[in-house]
Chains A and B, each alone.
Chain A
Amino acid sequence: KQEVTQIPAALSVPEGENLVLNCSFTDSAIYNLQWFRQDPGKGLTSLLLIQSSQREQTSGRLNASLDKSSGRSTLYIAASQPGDSATYLCAVFNNNDMRFGAGTRLTVKP
């Protein structure tokens, strides 16, 4: 059974800092990996999708990498802003489902 872990559980940084969120998974036989953000009490917003054959994807200030062999993905956020404050979740697509990590709660202080 696929297990997805996200570290750290919470992170607080001053505005303008670059930061890295980590996601690890136990079964490397994945179809793809997707990063989301969730604002309190809301649904999830898709940020980036990385196909299993890809190494990284970029969207604006966000860059996600994938190392399938080691079961790791990182989400890099450049020049963080207060509006980036949210919970960030990674999800791994297997043959049978889409499994989520518990998320990293990010706070960016002005």
Chain B
Amino acid sequence: EAGVTQSPTHLIKTRGQQATLRCSPISGHTSVYWYQQALGLGLQFLLWYDEGEERNRGNFPPRFSGRQFPNYSSELNVNALELEDSALYLCASSLGRSTEAFFGQGTRLTVV
């Protein structure tokens, strides 16, 4: 069974551009979580989607947005990229909020 897959693995963008990161959850999972992990820092909660709806978002500016598609895959969009957006972006999926979460390998975003 395939795990959580994220694409691309690496992404290099110029300041001011937009980045789109993708996440495919484990088959049957309806919840998707997004996290930002800057170098040497902990996981900061970005967004939680469940059954196609945004359930909660963390303390990030509106230029961080996303969506969940009918097949429960998800996209994270970051507009007007800033240098400090450089980080590892991690996606996790679960059957629901009280079940085990599984993570993808992440997308390394570098803003130059």
A42 near B106 with CB under 8 A, answer yes
A46 near B101 with CB under 8 A, answer yes
19 A-B pairs with CB atoms under 8 Å apart are: A32-B98, A34-B101, A41-B108, A43-B103, A43-B104, A46-B100, A46-B101, A91-B101, A93-B98, A96-B56, A97-B45, A97-B56, A97-B58, A98-B101, A99-B45, A100-B35, A101-B42, A102-B41, A103-B42
A98, B98: Cβ atoms closer than 8 Å: no
Tell me if A44 and B92 are in contact (CB < 8 A). Answer: yes
* CB contact list, A46-72 vs B, under 8 A: 46, 49, 51-52
Which B residues touch A76, using CB under 8 A? none
Nearest Cβ in chain B — how far from A75, in angstroms?
16
The verdict on A46 contacting B102 (CB below 8 Å), with A96-B48, A96-B55, A97-B58 known, is: yes
- Size class of the A contact interface (CB-based, 8 Å): 20 to 34
Most chain B CB within a 10 A radius of its CB, from A49, A96, A98: A98
Tell me the smallest distance from the CB of A69 to a CB of chain B, in Å.
19
Chain B residues within an 8 Å CB radius of A43 = 4, 90, 103-106
How far is the CB of B35 from the nearest CB of chain A, in Å? 8
A42–B56 touching, CB < 8 Å:
no
Query: Interface residue count for B (Cβ, 8 Å)?
Result: 25
Interface string of A88-110 (1 = CB under 8 A from B): 01010101111111110000000
CA distance A97 to B46 in the complex (A): 10
Residue of A nearest to B59 (CB): A1
Contact of B43 with A by CB under 8 A: yes
Which B residues touch A93, using CB under 8 A?
97-98, 101
CB neighbors of B among A8-57 (8 A)? 31-32, 34, 36, 41-46, 49, 51-52
CB-based nearest A residue for B46: A97
